[in-house]
Structure 1
Amino acid sequence: MLKKTLVWVVLGLTLSTDLLLANVAAIATPSDAISQLVTQTQPIFTPRRRSLLRFKVPSIRGSRNLEAGAARGECSPQAISAVIPPKPATMASTDLPVQLTISDRPTFFVNVPQTSATQAEFVLQGTGKEILLDKTVPVTASKGIMNYTLPSDFPGLKVGQKYSWRFSLVCDPTGGDRSGDPVTSGWIQRVQPTATVAAQLQTATPRQRVLIYADNGYWYDTLKSIADLRAANPSDLTLVRDWKDLLQSVSLDAIANQPLIQLDTATASNK
């Protein structure tokens, strides 16, 4: 009799425990369901990454008759350098890269880390080394990315032709000794945009033109467009970031913080 009673007690405790767990599960289920519903319906906000401005470097070779590069001089403790994409590693050592433009009078950019020079010289040559333009320009800043635009009295670059250009700081304007002048150089070619690109540029905003130029490999036009926008909107940090992104895309981020200096072509003189 005692054994039978103990069996009923154990059975009763087991049933009570099962019922208790079932009730707990029943109570917890709505909460879990609500939690899952909230998780599924609550929007997930992720920070939107700003698209970076990148430049597509065209693989166009220049003449082998000009040594491109950078050099320092007596009035510049650090080398000055053309603001152009570096030579691709896949290009032959005897070839030099050519940057493109669709402008007949493009703007050229040179990084000057520090200088005491008060004058600079800009020379433009054809493929036969004939001098097409030789101008002396006043330098009004001691450092910065200086830019020079071909003047209005120049007939303009011809479509399809390649040109070499050279920029040098004049360390001794009175003595005539040019051996200590820092100098840098590059190549440029004017091209005709396709009908599609030309149509895009006609309806594009100034900021949209920057993207079109960069996407089609027009280096000089891309730089000029952002430089003009920054000059017109000096407080716009987006343009500052675009400038840095552009230079970084061609491994020129080390000079991205240099101030932009426009050289005055109106006061330039012929050599």
Structure 2
Amino acid sequence: MRVDQFNYLFKIKSLFTFFALTIFATSYWCNQTQAQTSTRLKVIFTPPAENKPQTTIKGATRNNGQCLEQTENVAVPFTPLLPITNQGLTIAAHPTLLFYLPKTSAQKVFFSWHDEDSESYYQTVISLNGKSGIISLTFPKKSPPLEIGKTYKWSLAIMCNNRLQSDNPMVQGKIKRVKLESILGQSLKDANSLESAVLYGKAGIWHETITTLAQSVVAQPEDKNLAQTWKELLTSVGLEEVAQVPLVKSTSSTESEN
């Protein structure tokens, strides 16, 4: 065989090998991408053993219609985003609560909480600034921090006509601060936002579970997988109606006036 024929055949063989490897690599990459796309992390909330279902106070406790507007043919009441036990754990000294707030003419809400002995602990008036939808409320930083191991009862009342009255729409719940276990803390260090929500859910820490997931949904509003994960989490704890309500883009802490 002549040298030029040998070189020609060698080039053809090399080119064929290159294309074969390219096709294999492309096929492998596509399969891996599809596998990653089809994999969706689910946030499953596992209630702690101490939080057995009890009689709950869902939505507004009194006169839900006063100064609240009924819209979109579905009247979802003033609702705290809590499990059916109406209580949740947190690891934060100043945690964040989430609520569904219908459109209202009220401009302020009255927020208060106290310890298990019903002693007055803290109260404040907070401006709504025209907000409605799923909103967040963070315990004011200047308020005393929640103590680890203590359970607190909180209440949030809508101040119709800027007055606090016995028939104001109101929701209530309980919250307990627990210590962040070292094993969970180590896992959270390398976790992204969604993975953190998964870890909090498995540990039964409700408030960090839902607020962390909410932040992910707000940050990526076009992500259908996140939206589905959000709906599944709320539905799993008895919040089917609220699960259909979109998260407002401006989910953030409200500011205390005091």
Report the TM-score range of the alignment, normalised by the length of the smaller protein: 0.7 to 0.9
1:187 equivalent to 2:183? Answer no
On the 8 A contact 1:137/1:263 being kept in 2, the answer is no
Letter in 1 for 2:142: D
Q: 2:44 aligns with which of 51, 54, 58?
A: 54
Where does residue 197 of structure 1 map in the other structure? 184
Where does residue 18 of structure 2 map in the other structure? none
1:269 equivalent to 2:257? Answer yes
Number of residue pairs the alignment of both structures matches? 213
1:126 equivalent to 2:118? Answer no
* TM value normalised by structure 2: 0.72
What SS is found at the alignment partner of 1:69? coil
Q: Deviations over 1:66-121 (max 9, x none)?
A: 9833321411256312110113xxxxxxxxx5311111111011222332211112
Distance 1:141 1:265, change over 3 A: closer
Q: Tell me how far 1:142 sits from its aligned partner.
A: 5.8
What SS is found at the alignment partner of 1:53? coil
Where does residue 165 of structure 2 map in the other structure? 178
1:229 equivalent to 2:216? Answer yes
On the 8 A contact 1:148/1:262 being kept in 2, the answer is no
Please report the RMSD computed on the Cα atoms of aligned residues, expressed in angstroms: 2.9
* TM value normalised by structure 1: 0.69
Letter in 1 for 2:147: K
Distance 1:265 1:132, change over 3 A: farther
1:207 equivalent to 2:199? Answer no
On the 8 A contact 2:154/2:173 being kept in 1, the answer is yes
Where does residue 242 of structure 1 map in the other structure? 229
Distance 1:195 1:100, change over 3 A: same
Structure with greater strand percent = 1
Letter in 1 for 2:45: F
Distance 1:242 1:204, change over 3 A: same
Q: Tell me how far 1:186 sits from its aligned partner.
A: 0.4
Distance 1:164 1:243, change over 3 A: same
Unaligned runs of 5+ in 1: 1-44, 88-96
Q: Distance in 2 between matches of 1:170 and 1:263?
A: 20
Q: Distance in 2 between matches of 1:171 and 1:56?
A: 37
Q: Tell me how far 1:255 sits from its aligned partner.
A: 0.8
Q: Distance in 2 between matches of 1:153 and 1:139?
A: 19
Where does residue 86 of structure 1 map in the other structure? 84
Unaligned runs of 5+ in 2: 1-33, 70-74
